């Protein structure tokens, strides 16, 4: 028995390996990752790992646990080719790894700026080592330019301010968080950053960026010049698909899989950031999600299906972001909505419910201090999964418990 | 050793809900189950020390508000990723409409 090979040892791959053992699979399980670390949680990289005195890895398993569960973790090695006919993966250390079932959990990498020749003062954030490199240039008074007003950029802006750095965020779109966050909530986050002393320049293209290894000189499209000690580039992520593409598997904004996370090859599955899949809850709309919980859920689902479960991905997309004392949580895809109902909670927190034309609840976006919106967003997620059409008046009234709508 | 501490009135917690209770520098979560029994656990999730009282109670499960780690609040058992460490539980009794927990 060749067993199950998992390429990519991030949240998704790591969870898949553990899930296989939880499910009682007794064959060989091999987890291959190109980083030197155990699988670890990436969300803290832009938050606690950046502001803590000594950034530490939050691993999802220990070497001892992997040993106890007979999971072989091969680190610092890439998969370079898949021979589908022979059921063998070629690794960058020259060895070959046979498989009965193969899971591609290759993740995503930061989208690169098209400018060439950027040096050590222009950084992207994906790995723990990236976080360490960035942290070395962050301190009180250091000048930080953040290219891209998305989640990574804004979380890093908040962390850099906590350390006392001077922070400018440059966003090409007319507002921050254009993708997937309603304008009203993006506006609250924008104000929170300005109140904390971050300068945000929206609608600003980048004309030039030069990095001499000591400083970064940035020219904006309108002619403004910015000099920074560090430029952080957070302009999105692209799925890692080259291994799958070279193996002849279909690519469609990610490794294309069905709702059971299978590629066209019955022995190859893909999960997490690297794959696009039809989202059952929105009638099979093909999406690719870059989210921690999705990586975790799909890793576990792929494990079940590799063992024959034949189960469709039914989860509602969900993610969160922490900036200063605020937490944002979004369940569902808000662009599926046609109208919005607002529900005000205590302490200035609120939730926007996004309803489709036919009244179906398709998404909920909430923001507030601490975990003020968490419980209602979780309930909204269940309503979305159940394709509920709750009365807008009930959604809008804090007096009506969302839990009471679940049974309806 | 086995001090019973008054946490709240029985009516302070809705059925199938949870409340935070802080005492002597520690934080706890007190639960009222759908069948009207009371339970108590440590107040913070074993994953990233988030207050569980902001989370959702469904049947026997408390779900962490931050990363959806799940525990059976009656037994403290962790129910899958990302939580792997069980939650400590405490004995609870109802006395004259008051909820008391025994903090060992």
Render pLDDT for A296-347 as a digit per residue (tens, 0 to 9): 999 999 999 999 999 999 999 999 999 999 999 999 999 999 999 999 999 9
Q: Does A378 touch chain B (CB under 8 A)?
A: yes
Question: Residue A315: inside a domain, yes or no?
Answer: no
Shortest distance, CA A374 to any CA of chain B (angstroms): 5
Question: Residue A317: inside a domain, yes or no?
Answer: no
Domain with residue A299: its CATH number is 3.50.50.60
CA nearest neighbour of A163 among A320, A43, A49: A49
Amino acid B82: pLDDT:
87
Rounded to whole angstroms, how far apart are CA atoms B73 and A316?
25
CATH class of segment(s) B3-103: mainly beta
Query: Residue A271: is its pLDDT beyond 70?
Result: yes
Asked if A273 and A341 sit in the same domain, the reply is no
Asked if A94 and A193 sit in the same domain, the reply is no
Q: Residue range A239-246: average pLDDT? A: 98
Amino acid A380: pLDDT:
98
CA nearest neighbour of A273 among A103, A42, A107: A107
Asked if A122 and A33 sit in the same domain, the reply is no
Question: Residue A313: inside a domain, yes or no?
Answer: no
Tokens of A317: 């997309």
Tokens of A177: 């968080």
Residues A134-182: pLDDT tens digits?
999 999 999 999 999 999 999 999 999 999 999 999 999 999 999 899 9
Contact B51 A403 (CB under 8 A): no
DSSP labels, A293-358: HHHHHHHHHHHHHHTT------PPPEEEEEETTEEEEEEE-GGG-SEEEEEE-GGG-EEEEEE-TT
Range of the domain at A136: 112-233
Last residue of a domain, one of A233, A259, A285: A233
Rounded to whole angstroms, how far apart are CA atoms A147 and B4?
56
Contact A372 B51 (CB under 8 A): no
Query: Residue B1: is its pLDDT beyond 60?
Result: no
Contact A370 B54 (CB under 8 A): yes
Domain boundaries, chain B: 3-103
Give chain A positions within 8 Å (CB) of B56: 374-375, 378-379
Query: A95-113 burial string, b = 16+ CB within 10 Å, else e?
Result: eebbbebbbbbbbbebeeb
Asked if A117 and A95 sit in the same domain, the reply is no
CA nearest neighbour of A126 among A196, A33, A217, A220: A33
ipTM comes to 0.90
Asked if A61 and A161 sit in the same domain, the reply is no
Lowest pLDDT segment from A104-108, A118-122, A309-313, B18-22: A118-122
Owner of token pair 């000099």: A227
Contact B67 A403 (CB under 8 A): no
Asked if A104 and A123 sit in the same domain, the reply is no
Question: Residue A314: inside a domain, yes or no?
Answer: no
- The closest CB to that of A375, out of B50, B65, B67, belongs to B65
* pTM for this predicted structure: 0.94
Shortest distance, CA B55 to any CA of chain A (angstroms): 5
Question: Residue A316: inside a domain, yes or no?
Answer: no
Q: Does B61 touch chain A (CB under 8 A)?
A: no
Q: Does B54 touch chain A (CB under 8 A)?
A: yes
Amino acid A408: pLDDT:
63
Contact B68 A378 (CB under 8 A): yes
Asked if A181 and A291 sit in the same domain, the reply is no
Count of structural domains within chain A: 3
Give chain B positions within 8 Å (CB) of A15: 81
Asked if A374 and A401 sit in the same domain, the reply is yes
* 8-state DSSP, A125: -
């Amino acid at each position: 028995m060749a067993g199950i090979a998992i390429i990519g040892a991030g949240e998704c791959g790591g969870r898949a390996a553990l899930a296989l053992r939880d499910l009682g699979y007794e064959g060989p399980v091999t987890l291959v990752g190109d980083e030197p670390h155990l699988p670890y949680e990436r969300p803290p990289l832009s938050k606690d790992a950046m502001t803590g005195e000594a950034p530490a890895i939050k691993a999802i398993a220990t070497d001892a646990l992997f040993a106890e569960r007979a999971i072989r973790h091969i680190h610092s090695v890439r998969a370079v080719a898949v021979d589908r006919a022979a059921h063998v993966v070629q690794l960058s250390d020259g060895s070959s790894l046979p498989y009965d079932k193969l899971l591609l959990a290759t993740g995503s990498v930061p989208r690169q700026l098209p400018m060439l020749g950027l040096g050590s003062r222009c950084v992207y954030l994906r790995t723990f080592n990236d976080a360490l490199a960035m942290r070395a240039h962050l301190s009180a008074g250091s000048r930080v330019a953040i290219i891209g007003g998305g989640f990574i950029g804004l979380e890093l802006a908040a962390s850099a301010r906590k350390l006392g750095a001077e922070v400018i965020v440059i966003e090409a779109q007319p507002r921050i968080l254009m993708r997937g966050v309603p304008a009203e909530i993006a506006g609250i986050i924008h104000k929170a950053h300005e109140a904390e002393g971050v300068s945000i320049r929206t609608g600003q293209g980048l004309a030039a960026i030069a990095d001499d290894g000591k400083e970064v000189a940035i020219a904006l499209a309108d002619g403004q010049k910015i000099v920074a000690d560090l430029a952080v580039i957070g302009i999105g992520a692209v799925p890692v698909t080259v291994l799958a593409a070279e193996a002849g598997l279909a690519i469609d904004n990610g490794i294309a899989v069905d709702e059971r996370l299978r590629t066209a090859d019955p022995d190859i599955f893909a999960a997490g950031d690297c794959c696009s899949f039809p989202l059952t809850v929105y009638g099979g709309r093909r999406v690719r999600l870059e989210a921690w919980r999705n990586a975790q859920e799909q890793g576990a689902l792929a494990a079940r299906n590799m063992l024959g479960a034949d189960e469709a991905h039914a989860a509602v997309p969900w993610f969160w972001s922490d900036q200063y004392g605020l937490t944002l949580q979004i369940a569902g895809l808000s662009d599926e909505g046609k109208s919005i109902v607002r529900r005000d909670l205590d302490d200035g927190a609120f939730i926007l419910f996004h309803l489709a034309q036919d009244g179906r609840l398709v998404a909920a976006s909430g923001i507030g201090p601490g975990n003020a919106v968490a419980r209602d967003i979780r309930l909204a997620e269940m309503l979305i999964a159940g394709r509920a059409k709750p009365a807008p008046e009930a959604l809008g009234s804090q007096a009506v418990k969302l839990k009471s709508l679940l049974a309806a | 050793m086995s001090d019973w501490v008054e946490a709240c009135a029985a009516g302070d917690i809705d059925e199938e809900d949870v409340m935070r209770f802080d005492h002597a520098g520690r934080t706890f979560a007190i639960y009222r189950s759908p069948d009207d029994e009371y339970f108590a656990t440590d107040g913070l999730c074993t994953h990233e020390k988030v207050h569980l009282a902001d989370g959702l109670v469904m049947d026997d499960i408390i779900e962490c508000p931050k990363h959806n780690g799940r525990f059976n609040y009656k037994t403290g058992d962790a129910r899958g990723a990302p939580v792997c460490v069980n939650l400590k539980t405490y004995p609870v009794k109802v006395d004259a409409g008051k909820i008391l927990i025994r903090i060992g």
